Structures are given as structure tokens and as C-alpha cells.
Structure 1
Amino acid sequence: MASKLGVSIVAVLATSVGVMLALALGLISLSIAAGIFLVLLVAMLVFHGAAMDFTSGLSDSEAFQKAVEEKEQREAEHEEWEKEYWGEHHPDYQGEEHH
């Protein structure tokens, strides 16, 4: 992850130098340069945010395992609710599907 961040920093710096050089030589207008810098700023913020989310949270396998456990818990709670609901309305209900 660090190497990707380093590559992106080098790319942003190279682009910035290129834009400033083109601006100094009069090849582009100030508004175009400002637009390019704005796009670079947004891209850096988005990339940095994605990198922070990736590195500060759980690893992919831990996050997946946690999601699976939460899903199984929700399914178990729904099954429990379904048994209670059908038990009240249909005393002969044993947990089979009613669709």
C-alpha cells in the first residue's frame, strides 16, 4: 500500500511541476491550470480517504468474517421471530416454510 501511495505522490508532483511549467511558458491559461489543480486535489483527497479506510480498519478477511457473523446473527434472529409469530397465529407451526 505504501508503494502505491508513493507512486501517486510522485505522479501528483510531476503533474504539478508540468502544469506550473506550462503556465509559466504561457501554454495554458490560469483557469485551465486552476482546474487541473482542483482535479488533482480532489483525486488526492479521495485516494487518501480510501487509503485511510483500507489501512485503519480491519483486514479484508476479518471484515468478511465479521460480515458473515452479523448476517448469520440476523438470520437467527429472524428465524426466532418467525417461530414466535407463526407460533402465536398457527400453534401447529414447527419451523417449516409458510409461503
Structure 2
Amino acid sequence: MNQKNAILIVDDDPRNIFALKMVLKARGFDCETATNFEDAHKILISNHNVKLVLMDMMMPDIDGYESISKLKSSEEFKNLPIIAVTAQAMIVIKRNV
């Protein structure tokens, strides 16, 4: 990776990573990827070019909600922009039939 600012994609589904990475790369962004919080944290510590995180909210083990909380509680990453990526954006209304 060169010295440009990068976007970190954190998602446990390789299809989502592929799609996001292809769209972002086509628009000139450098991308790093991780499939879980531990790997994402290692990348953030070692790569100071990451300026934005796209975080999947529904991951096994440590989900996006907890991952964001952990990152934001750290002095080093408290100002890092994180965008939640989720398929659960629709409000579901249950009706008794």
C-alpha cells in the first residue's frame, strides 16, 4: 500500500469485503481489510494511514457495536471516523394476525 490515506473495511463476509473494496478502489481509495475486531485493531495500530473505518455491525464474537465502543474508548482512536455497515437498517413491525 502506498502512503495515501486508506479505508479499513471490517466485515466477516468476504462477498461484502469484495464488493466494498472494488467500488472504493474504482474511485481511487486504498483499502485494508479485516474479518474481525482483533485483526482490525492490529491494522489500525500498525497502519497510521487508515483514516476511516467501515464497520460491519453483525459479526460473530465481537460485533460492530462492541468493536466501535472499544475503539472509541481508546485515546488513539477516539476521533477516528467509523461508519456502520449493516443490512439491518429497516424497522420491522410485528403484527399479530
Q: Under TM normalisation by the shorter chain, which class is it?
A: under 0.3
- Whose radius of gyration is greater, 1 or 2? 1
Structure with the higher strand share, 1 or 2 = 2
Does 1 or 2 have the higher relative contact order (CA < 8 Å, sep 6+)?
2
